[in-house]
Structure 1
C-alpha cells in the first residue's frame, strides 16, 4: 500500500486525466506540461503504486485491473476536493434562512434587538437573530467553536482570536419617577446618598456603576436590588427608588415609562460597547453582512 504521506496530489490528477484521455500527449497538453514531464510523472506514479497502471495499445493507454480498481475512488476524492476548494456560495440576505446567535446582555437586548428585528424584516425576511446570555470564558469558548456568531455590547475577558469594532461610548444616568418628592436634576451627592436606590446586583459587565456608587458612600447592601436591568423601569415608575443605569437605557426607558432623568453626582467611567467576532469568520459572507448591518445601525458617527 502506498504511503499517503509521500503521495503527490499532482500524480493523482495525471492518473485521472489518463483514465479519461487514454493518451499521454493529450494529458500533457491538458496539464500544460511537456511530453517528457508527463512521461516522468507517469514513471513516478507507477513507482508509487508498484504497478504499470496503463498499458500502451492500439486503442490508447488502457488501465490495468489495479488502475481500474483505483479509478472510481480517485475520481470521487478529486471531485470532493475540488468542491471543497470552490468559493463558498455568496450570502444573499434577501433569500437566506440563516439563524445567527449573538451574545448580548439584557441591556443589549433592549437596545439592539428591536432595530435588528426591524432591519431583518425589511432586508432579510428569512434571517433570524437569536440572543444568548453568555459571559467571560464560556462566551470565549462558544465564539472559538463557532457556536456563537458574534458578541454585541460591553463585554470583559474576551481575548485570543477575536476581532472587535467599537460601536459607541456612553455614560450613566439616574432614573426616577415623574412626581418624585425629592429627586431632581442637579441634586448634590449628600441628597443623592440619602435617597433609596434600586441596585442591579448582577450588573456585569456594567459593574463599574456599583463600584462608583460604593465609592460615593452608598452601602449597596442596604438598598433594594434586582439581578437584571430589564425590570428597573417597571419598578422605578411606581416607587420612589432611584436607579442609575447606562444612559441609552435611561433615554429609552424615560420615554416609554414616563420617567425623569438626572445626571448622577458620582464619577462613573464611560462604558464602551463593541462588536466582537472570531477571526475565523472574518470572510464569512453572512457574518460580514450582519456586522455591516450592526455598524450601520448603531456605530457612532
Structure 2
C-alpha cells in the first residue's frame, strides 16, 4: 500500500476508534455523522483486507492486525501533530496539578528521589502521587485519566495503550558485605547451598523470576518470604540471606545498607522496564513532557520506539 492510497483523515478516525471503541463517540469527537464513521471504516477494511474492529457488547474491539497498526499510526500522527504545532511550547512551570504514576515499591526506591528533585526545579506547582501497578483497576484508572502513566513490566496493559522501553536490566544476587559468598564469582553450587530471602511480588513481571529459577531445576533453601522489596536492604544487612533482585535496585541498596551484588549464576533473561500510557493522552503536551522527563532521567541511551500493545 502506498501513502497516496489512503487519506490522513482515515488514519485519524482509526486512532479515534482505538481510543473510544464507540462509533458514536468518534463521530462526536470528529464532528461528523455516525454513517460517515461507518463508511470510512468500511473503506479502511477494504484497503487493509481486515475487519480492523469487531462490534461486541463492550464496543468496537480491535483485531490483532489493528493492534499491530496502532503503534506506527499513532506515532506517525503524533509526529505530524508536533511538527504542525512547533510554535506552541509546553511550559512545565505552568503545571498546577497532581501527577499520578503507577509503579512498584522498587520503582519508588529507584525513581522517586531524582524525579521529585527535578520536579521541584522545573515544575514547582506539581505534586506527585504513586499507586501500585498491581491494582485490579489500573487499566480503568489510566483510561479515566486518574493515572497519568505506569512504569514496570506490565503485560496486562495491551489494546488502547502505548508503551516504550525505558531500560533493560539483569538479575543479580544481593547479600551483605563480608558474607561467605562475598568473592569474585558466585557458583551455582554456592547459590543452592545458601539461605534465601524470596520476594513474592504478585501481579508484576518480577514475580516470574522465581518460576524461571524453578524451571531451570535449581533448588533453593527459602528461609524467608516477604511480599515486597522495601524491607530487603534492612533484612540482608543483618542476616546471611541472599536475594535475587534487579541490578538497579541492588545498586541503590548497596551503599546505604552495606551490601554487595554479583552476577546471577542462573541464566535468567533480562527484564524490560517499560513506560505505559493510554492512547487518550498520547498527544497531550503535558503528558508528552512527563514521558520525556522520565526517559531523560532514567532511560537507556538505546530505547525502543513507541509502540501500541
TM-score (norm 2): 0.65
Q: Is residue 199–residue 225 contact of structure 2 (8 Å, CA) maintained in 1?
A: yes
- 2:246 alignment partner in structure 1: 246
- 2:292 alignment partner in structure 1: 292
Distance 1:198 1:218, change over 3 A: farther
Of 192-201 and 133-142, more deviation after overlay is shown by: 133-142
Specify the SS of the correspondent of 2:137: helix
Following superposition, the deviation at residue 128 of structure 1 comes to 1.2
Following superposition of structure 1 onto structure 2, how do residues 1-301 of structure 1 map, counting pairs within 5 Å? 91-135=90-134, 138-203=137-202, 204-219=204-219, 222-301=222-301
> Aligned partners of 2:298, 2:188: CA distance in 1, in Å?
33
> Aligned partners of 1:277, 1:260: CA distance in 2, in Å?
35
Specify the SS of the correspondent of 2:157: coil
Q: Is residue 136–residue 158 contact of structure 1 (8 Å, CA) maintained in 2?
A: no
Following superposition, the deviation at residue 92 of structure 1 comes to 2.9
Following superposition, the deviation at residue 136 of structure 1 comes to 6.9
- 1:69 alignment partner in structure 2: none
Following superposition, the deviation at residue 112 of structure 1 comes to 1.0
> Aligned partners of 2:132, 2:221: CA distance in 1, in Å?
26
Following superposition, the deviation at residue 95 of structure 1 comes to 3.1
Specify the SS of the correspondent of 1:249: helix
> Aligned partners of 2:166, 2:160: CA distance in 1, in Å?
19
Following superposition, the deviation at residue 137 of structure 1 comes to 5.0
Q: Is residue 105–residue 133 contact of structure 1 (8 Å, CA) maintained in 2?
A: yes
Q: Is residue 162–residue 276 contact of structure 2 (8 Å, CA) maintained in 1?
A: yes
> Aligned partners of 1:223, 1:261: CA distance in 2, in Å?
19
Gaps of 5+ in 2: 1-30, 32-87, 302-309
Of 150-159 and 238-247, more deviation after overlay is shown by: 150-159
| CA offset digits 1:266-295 (Å, max 9, x no partner) | 011111011111111112121111111111
- 1:32 alignment partner in structure 2: none
Q: Is residue 212–residue 267 contact of structure 1 (8 Å, CA) maintained in 2?
A: no
| CA offset digits 1:27-70 (Å, max 9, x no partner) | xxxxxxxxxxxxxxxxxxxxxxxxxxxxxxxxxxxxxxxxxxxx
Distance 1:221 1:144, change over 3 A: farther
> Which has the bigger relative contact order, CA under 8 A and spacing at least 6?
2
Following superposition, the deviation at residue 296 of structure 1 comes to 1.1
Gaps of 5+ in 1: 1-8, 10-88
Number of aligned residues? 214
> Aligned partners of 1:137, 1:91: CA distance in 2, in Å?
33
| CA offset digits 1:89-138 (Å, max 9, x no partner) | 97532132111111001111111111110110111111112110133752
Structure with greater Cα Rg = 1
Specify the SS of the correspondent of 2:195: coil
> Aligned partners of 1:220, 1:191: CA distance in 2, in Å?
10
Kindly report the root-mean-square deviation, in angstroms, between the aligned alpha carbons of the 2 structures: 2.1
Specify the SS of the correspondent of 1:198: strand
Q: Is residue 137–residue 157 contact of structure 1 (8 Å, CA) maintained in 2?
A: no
